[in-house]
A and B are shown apart, each in its own frame.
Chain A
């Protein structure tokens, strides 16, 4: 059974940093693109970033470029999102998702983790 479990969320002040982690199991992690998708409270879904199976390519939505970094450790079947210079607009539930390369579906989602940016 595919499982994706996020951790590392919480309350952070504007300008601060946070690192999200996602532990994957039930599939061969190193074979899949992985993505982060977020959802602000009461709002719709926004794709944030993705990373190639071997980690050689990363892509980001414009609003997080230069502030967020996606990475992975295939030996640990883990995905990460380093978030710096956080803003109130980054407040959202962040989902770890399998898939997300061009032509690749977002087929399994974690339960999500809340990140709140507030003073």
Chain B
């Protein structure tokens, strides 16, 4: 199985900050990489797919980049609603593994 490693696991930031989360795959996943946001007690919400394509309705302050084995999620000008946990996921091959998550906390 392809292993997905996210860093950092926790990130403290302030409103207005630019935040970057990294996701590394143990094998090449091309651009078959998605990012999800999850708030406590809620289902995950798809933010980005195909590494850099914004899902409809997602604010443009979210962006994704990368291909192959290294990917980043960037949040420009962090907003109060963005404090949450973020997961990457590869969907190139089974078992469609997720990263361990990055919790974005208020500094």
User: Residues of A with Cβ closer than 8 Å to B?
Assistant: 35, 44-47, 50, 59, 61-62, 95, 100, 102-107, 109-112
Contacts and interface: CB of A to CB of B under 8 A. Distances in A.
Interface of B: 1, 32, 34, 36, 38, 42-46, 49-50, 55, 87, 89, 91-101
Contact of A44 (B34, B92, B93, B99): B99
Closest 9 CB pairs of A and B: A109-B43, A47-B96, A45-B98, A105-B49, A61-B95, A44-B101, A44-B100, A107-B46, A59-B94
B93 A45 contact: no
A49 B4 CA distance: 18
A59 B94 CA distance: 8
Nearest to B48: A105
A103 B91 contact: yes
B32 A103 contact: yes
A106 B34 contact: yes
Given A103-B32, A106-B91, A47 B43 contact: no
A3 B43 CA distance: 13
Most buried by B among A45, A59, A107, A109: A45
B97 A47 contact: yes
B49 A45 contact: no
A44 B36 CA distance: 12
B46 A62 contact: no
Contact of A106 (B46, B50, B97, B99): B46
A105 B91 contact: yes
A109 B91 CA distance: 16
Contacts of B34: 105-106
